[in-house]
Amino acid sequence: MKTVRKSIILSIGLLCLSVASCKKDLINMNENPNGGNPATVNPNLVLSTVLTTTGYQLVFLGYQDMAGVMQHTQKDGWTTTHNEYDWSGSNSWTGYYDVLRNNQLVYKRGVDLNSELHQGVALVMKSLLFGLITDLWGDAPYTYALQGENGTPETTLPVFDPQQTIYAGILADLEKANTLLSKPKSAYANPIDAVDVYYQGDPVKWRKMANSLALRYYMRLSEKLPAIAKAGIEKIVADPAQYPLILNIDGSEDATMSFPGNSNADSWPMNVAYDTDSSNYRRLKMCSTFVNALQSRHDPRLGVWASKVQCFLLVDDTKPAGTGNVYKATDTVIAGEPRKVRYISPDVLASKGLTINDINQDENYVGLPPAISGPAVYNLSPDASQASRNPHVSWLNDIYKQPKGPLLKSRIISASEVHFILSEAAAVKGWAAGDAEAHYNAGVQASLNVWGVAGSSAAYLAQPAVKFNHTQEQIILQKWIASWTAATEAWADYKRTGYPVLQAGPYAKAPVVPVRLYYMLEERNLNKANMEAAAGRLEVTTYSSFGANGSKNSPWSKPWIIQGTGKPW
């Protein structure tokens, strides 16, 4: 027994030594030789991911489902989320918080290295991303967000901060960024030129972006906290040396990101180079709301963004009954372009239960009405297979088939937006923000410039429907037009102002346009108490019963920023 006991004791001792040795080896093995140590990583390696991922996220929002909400586009296949707001409570902010965690590392390494350039840029990106989150959802984790490694209850399951807290934090961070980015480029010891896909390492432009974003968020607060918004905007405008802005209408100061186009992952979304059947491109069509607004103003940007119909409809009442075959098309030349026309006799329309008012005979541009039944066969499409090949509606311009191009950019904030903000502040709010008409004209011209139709500025601005009339509706409508492929910002303006006036389509999930995204399933499961507290602060409306998760988490329940404003509906 003693011998056995000694053997056991010896074995246990050897095991303990072995475990201690293994533990040490495991700790060493846990260091990834191919990864970056957060304590020593070069912040540029992480910053590149922050910038590119954010650029992709913003263009996917603004070119896809937010473009459906704001009726820039509609889809004629897989329509439910785009046309009808059938989001089913699955919206997730996880990707945005992932980027924010990486961005926080950039900031921390900037502090470690005493790199004010990295700190300033990281604060701008933090403000942009948290601004996006609260614009989309309302209250959200902020104060205790990004601290999960601390393991405390308040950081593991963070509270959802009220919107006013988040906006205040954003504006404070942008003020700090303005100071950090105020030195000449030569004064920064740690350049970011090689990884900065927005501004190629220019701190002056980053500083202008910081102050321009501050204008954006002060205007967000203009209905709820007008005194704070007024003071903030007037402070910035009054001191251009201390608070430079993105104002150059040639686009050289705009925060944008181009696409390399080397693979589907780094290309313009929904291109056909990496989508062999082109279905993603084909399903996205112009919306009639947008097309009609552009056509009524003879807007030269329409031809940049959309293609003319491949075949237009023409009712011909001179044909004998029954001879106007809706499937017969004859070659013709229209304005020098070989396209087709389909002649339809009134009796053929009648046989289908239609009248002339049920079809669009425009020879140039036809948009899909929002959230209709059967968008794939709208306007008597002969596409019986519903393969999104309708020749009787306008497809997007061929440039959007490409993986890259001079006009294919993620557009983050622009001179056009800044000028429209200042025009609204001066004309509508009566604040000291400069010449309202000059800013309005500059906002229009800046958009025309970046889309390559600068030569049309004078004629366009001279039209009665475009000429400045000092109204908020006109300013926001032009801002909505200029937000093409960046419709998320237009949605924020719509919620704040009710402009442009939009009607939800007959198959939409509610009779009005929604004002927020759902809190998603993972938050409802993992952080239920805090999510429910935030949802309880939403304002239940007449339309809150529509949607998948009840009135307390409805896309038609209003977050703080528009509560009590009577907007947008």
Using one digit for the tens of pLDDT, what is the confidence trace for 157-188?
A: 999 999 999 999 999 999 999 999 999 999 99
CA distance 518 to 495: 16
Q: Which residues contact 67 (CB under 8 A, 6 or more apart)?
A: 73, 82, 485, 487
pTM: 0.91
Is 398 a residue whose pLDDT tops 50? yes
Is 13 a residue whose pLDDT tops 50? no
Q: Which residues contact 115 (CB under 8 A, 6 or more apart)?
A: 43, 109, 188, 189, 190
Determine the average pLDDT of the residues in 274-285. 93
CA distance 299 to 444: 11
Rg (CA), the chain: 28
pLDDT-based confidence at residue 336 (cuts at 50, 70, 90): low
CB contact at 8 A, 478 and 444? yes
Which two structure tokens, joined as six digits, stand for 63? Answer: 């070119």
* Torsion-angle region of 87 (φ positive above 0: left; ψ -120 to 50: alpha; else: beta): alpha
User: What DSSP element (H or E) covers 334?
Assistant: strand 329-334
* Collapsed DSSP state (helix, strand, coil) of residue 330: strand
Is 33 a residue whose pLDDT tops 70? no
pLDDT-based confidence at residue 220 (cuts at 50, 70, 90): very high
Of the ranges 11-20, 29-38, 441-450, which is most confident? 441-450
Sheet holding 337-344, edge to edge: 311-315, 337-344, 329-334
What per-residue confidence (pLDDT) applies to 319?
Answer: 65
Its sign, for the CA torsion 237, 241, 246, 247, is positive
Question: What is the amino acid identity at position 219?
Answer: M
Q: Which segment of 10-19, 121-130, 371-380 scores lowest on mean pLDDT?
A: 10-19
Neighbour-count burial of 336, counting CB atoms closer than 10 A to its CB (0-12 exposed, 13-18 middle, 19+ buried): exposed
Q: What is the pLDDT of residues 293-317, one digit of tens each?
A: 999 999 999 999 999 999 988 888 7
What per-residue confidence (pLDDT) applies to 547?
Answer: 80
What per-residue confidence (pLDDT) applies to 323?
Answer: 52
Helix axes 203-220, 163-180, angle to 10 degrees: 160
